[in-house]
Structure formats: C-alpha cells, structure tokens
Amino acid sequence: MGSQRLVPETAIGAFVAGITILAVIGACRLVSLSRRTTIVILLLLIFATYRTISLISVYLTWYQVPLLALFFIFVAAGVELIHRNWPRIAACVAVIVSFCYAVHVPLSFPRERNIQLYAEEKVRIEIGGRLNALMNAADAAVLEPLYIGWAARNKTIYDSPGIGSKVSTAALLHTGENVWGLAAALRPTFLVMRPSEIEHLQAQYPETAKLYEKIDEVQAPSNYKPCDWGYFVESDHDLVILKRTY
C-alpha cells in the first residue's frame, strides 16, 4: 500500500551515524561535568541493547519517545562542544540536524490529519458508536483498537493486548498476544475485528468462529489516503462487528 522510499537507505544510515557520533561527544562532555550523567547513559544503552536483540511488541515503541529525547539532549551537548572550538562548523551541523529533524513535517502532518479525519473518526469512533448502541449492561466485547472505547463508554471491553483490562491480560497469557486468541478464550457477546483478524479466527479457532455472525461493518471513505510521497501512516480502514448467535 506504500510507495518507494524517496530517501536512500545509505543517506538515512549516514545521518543516524552522524547524530550518534554527536551524541557520544555530548555524552563524554556531560560526564566530564557530572559523573551522575553516567546513569542516564547506561539507561539509554540498556534500552538500545534490549530494543536491538529482542523481538518486542509494536506497543512498546511508545516508550522510545522519552529515551529519544534524552538522546537528542546529548546530541545538542555535542554540537555545543564543537561550537566552543569551531563555531561555524557547529552552526552548519546544527542547521543540518534541525533540517533532517523537521523535513518530514510537510509530509507527516497532512498524513496524520488524514488518518485522524478519515480513519480514527470515520471508522474507529463510528464503529464505537454503533457498538455502543448494540450493547447493554450484560454484554461484553473483544477488540484491539481501544480508541473505539471513546464512543462505547461504560461498556465491558476486553482488549488485546490487555492495556485496559486485567481479564484480557490473564487470558492472553494462555492464548498469545492476538485478538483472535482472546476472542476464543472469552467468547464475548460482540467482536470488533479487521477482516484479516477474522480470517485468523476462522483458521485457528474455527469452532469459535462458527458462533459469530457479521452484523455491521464500517469502511473508510474515499478521502482516506495513508500514503503520499513515500510517507506512510497506517490505521484501520475496515472494521467489522460480529455478534455471538448462540
């Protein structure tokens, strides 16, 4: 669904190598000023090692943001140290880093807005509202996109991977981290799934799949455009509500 990457892999690698060198220079500088900075460096190294050698869930990428912020503090310290001896070179480096940091904005912001308008609101919140109208106090639903709960409030929702429910977390320990396994374990009144997840449910848990029938579906309008100029932001463009028949 994407398009060819516009920036060569070698250019991206060179940029990452360059800012890493700056971060190392900055880290050495800050450690020379305060040995307590070593604790922050160890934290970054431990996380980078864990992130490199471990196959972790996509949800854990959320935790990269504050660590990347710390990383760029070291980058800034590296630029500042260069500025002490070579101010013009430091100015050029600062401009290059800032440009590379912000160059994606004309591409990413319109894509993020498009996703918000035509996927998050027109699909996830819409299907959440429909689910809310279908459910009563005795019903429960299994789903993965927790954004749906914004519209289906005060309802019993079992989510994968268990971010919002202890019941889900306990069930997922025995079924693996996927919504179709959770559906098979709990067999709630309603399921909200992507078409691909329904296929997994039918293939891996056919007896559970037979208990449900499709009662509603929401698809993104034609305005939905997740990819443009090689920048790709993915979200749900097709969600289905299934109800247990017996």
pLDDT category, 210, cuts 50, 70, 90? very high
208 within a domain of the structure (yes/no): yes
Residue 59: predicted pLDDT: 58
pTM for this structure?
0.74
Measured at the alpha carbon of residue 26, what is the angle toward residues 21 and 27, in degrees to the nearest 5? 95
Assess whether 130 and 227 both reside in one domain: yes
pLDDT category, 4, cuts 50, 70, 90? low
Cα 28 from Cα 6, distance rounded (Å): 35
Once rounded to an integer, what is the mean pLDDT over residues 47-60?
A: 72
Of 57, 87, 103, the residue at which a domain comes to its end is 103
Domain that holds residue 129: 107-244
Q: What is the mean pLDDT of the chain?
A: 87
Assess whether 215 and 141 both reside in one domain: yes
Residue 150: predicted pLDDT: 82
Convert the pLDDT of each residue in 154-199 to its tens digit. 889 998 888 778 888 888 888 777 899 999 999 999 999 999 999 9
Residue 229: predicted pLDDT: 66
Query: Do the beta carbons of residue 115 and residue 235 sit within 8 Å?
Result: yes
Assess whether 203 and 86 both reside in one domain: no
Convert the pLDDT of each residue in 90-149 to its tens digit. 999 999 999 988 888 888 888 888 888 888 889 999 999 999 999 998 999 999 887 787
Once rounded to an integer, what is the mean pLDDT over residues 32-55?
A: 86
Q: How many domains does the chain have?
A: 2
Assess whether 98 and 113 both reside in one domain: no
Of 80, 103, 126, the residue at which a domain comes to its end is 103
**Which one, of 190, 164, 160, 188, lies nearest residue 175 by Cα?**
160
2 within a domain of the structure (yes/no): no
Assess whether 96 and 30 both reside in one domain: yes
Cα four-point dihedral sign 69, 70, 75, 77? positive
